[in-house]
A = this chain, B = another copy of it.
Amino acid sequence: MTTDIVVSAPGKVILHGEHSVVYGKVAVASSLNLRCFVHAAISKDGDVTLDLPDVNICRKWSVASLENNLLPRLELCHDSHGHPSPPTEKSLHRLKQFAEIDTEESESRHLAIISFLYLYCYIGQRSKEQSGLPPIHVRMISQLPVGAGLGSSAAFSVCLAAVLLQLTGQATPSVHPEEQGDSNSAKGAVWKWSLDDLLLINKWAFLGEKIIHGHPSGIDNSVSTLGGAIRFQNKQITTVEKMPSIKILLTNTNVPRSTKTLVAYVKNKHDKFPEVMGPVLQAMEGLAERSIKVYGHMFDRPDKWQGYSQLEELIDINQQLLNTIGVGHSSLDRVVKLTARQALHSKLTGAGGGGCAYTLLRPDTPDEKIQAACKDLEEAGFDCWVTNVGAVGVYYHSNPDSDASLPERLLE
């Protein structure tokens, strides 16, 4: 059994199609190379520890207590396809009781504890390596802001599923030639799981997401597991086969927004003016489909410049369409304006009304321009990151001690 495991999984951004996706239109989401890192090790003290320093959570249980007081009291169900089901009402109640979490608690960081316990017990008791639950120490460090619509909880669930399945011998990574789109990986090779293993990881991660989010779409965990980009329509997720790695500037306006309120706002406009909003949503779908074609061309061809020009135009148009349906915000206008000073093109990503935006960067965009944009954005009170989309999904860091991509605090 591997005793020291480091995995990472990316966040996600919606590239095109937010809001119209609610009306059955195509959306494209992509991995975001701001990653969640999980370090798991067999613990020497025989306890199980969940250490989430980013959200101020550190919990410890003895394996004995988990085996005697929690595991026997959980109903571990599966559906007719043999897929694990989320905890029953009764199990959820017992998980919360065991973790001393209020039964009405809905904060993600607390639900993450429940998610961990459930996945740990469920996956652990299926171990192929040992009988009984393993004593492990799990520490998570994330580059993703929490609650910003960037899939931070999905990336955590994916990492958790990966380390638990690997620790228990149910999924084993192997070395792959370095994939395009992963500027952060150790040079030369990436350790990844087989597609079957990835689908298994994704299945468990989705379960984790359900515990934290209730009714997730499955986009976040799928993108985080598989990397690259996915096309999403009517709850059907398909992989975008040819997704290049694209450098972006991601900006968090830090303006809080309510996805529910924004979705309701658009619905109201759609109910009121169907003859106008219907075609607008159709335009968004056309735009999302077109972007997929452009990504394909950029993936195939070494000459990507035309692709970048087209993506810039699509980004501008999409941003205006999102303004048209009323989910813009003065903070997002600000991002557009400040980045336009450097001739860069930005759009909101996610629900809008604040939240995040991304700015396309060309491979030859001078660093000074990027730095100037970041400076302006930070002075406006926004956070920003230079990162990339279309990055590799969950992967195994085979050589953590010499891996410069890992956050310093991870191996503490």
- Identify the A interface with B (CB < 8 A): 269, 272-273, 275-280, 282-283, 286-287, 289-290, 310, 313-314, 316-317, 320-321, 323-324, 326
Contact = CB atoms under 8 A, between A and B. Distances in A.
24 contacts: A269-B313, A272-B313, A273-B286, A273-B287, A273-B290, A273-B317, A275-B286, A275-B289, A276-B283, A276-B287, A276-B290, A276-B317, A279-B280, A279-B282, A279-B283, A280-B321, A282-B282, A283-B283, A316-B326, A320-B320, A320-B321, A320-B324, A321-B324, A324-B324
A63 to B, nearest CB: 57
A279 B286 CA distance: 8
A290 B317 contact: no
A279 B277 CA distance: 10
Contacts of A278: 283, 286
The 4 closest A-B pairs by CB, nearest first: A275-B286, A320-B324, A279-B283, A279-B282
Contacts of A324: 283, 317, 320-321, 324
Given A276-B286, A323-B323, 18 more contacts: A272-B310, A272-B313, A273-B286, A275-B286, A275-B289, A276-B283, A276-B287, A276-B290, A276-B314, A277-B283, A278-B286, A279-B280, A280-B321, A283-B283, A283-B324, A316-B326, A320-B320, A320-B324
A94 B237 CA distance: 72
Contacts of A283: 276-280, 283, 324
A314 to B, nearest CB: 7
A400 to B, nearest CB: 45
A279 B279 contact: yes
Nearest to A333: B333
Contacts of A277: 283
Contacts of A290: 273, 275-276
A197 B290 CA distance: 53
A289 to B, nearest CB: 7
Contacts of A326: 316
Nearest to A290: B275
Contacts of A269: 313, 317
A314 B272 CA distance: 11
A286 B324 CA distance: 14
A269 B287 CA distance: 12
A326 to B, nearest CB: 8
Contacts of A272: 310, 313
A324 B316 CA distance: 8
A282 B285 CA distance: 14
Nearest to A286: B275
Indicate the member of A272, A277, A321, A326 with the most B CB atoms within 10 Å.
A321
A30 to B, nearest CB: 19
Nearest to A322: B320
Nearest to A319: B324
Contacts of A282: 279, 282
Contacts of A273: 286-287, 290, 313-314, 317
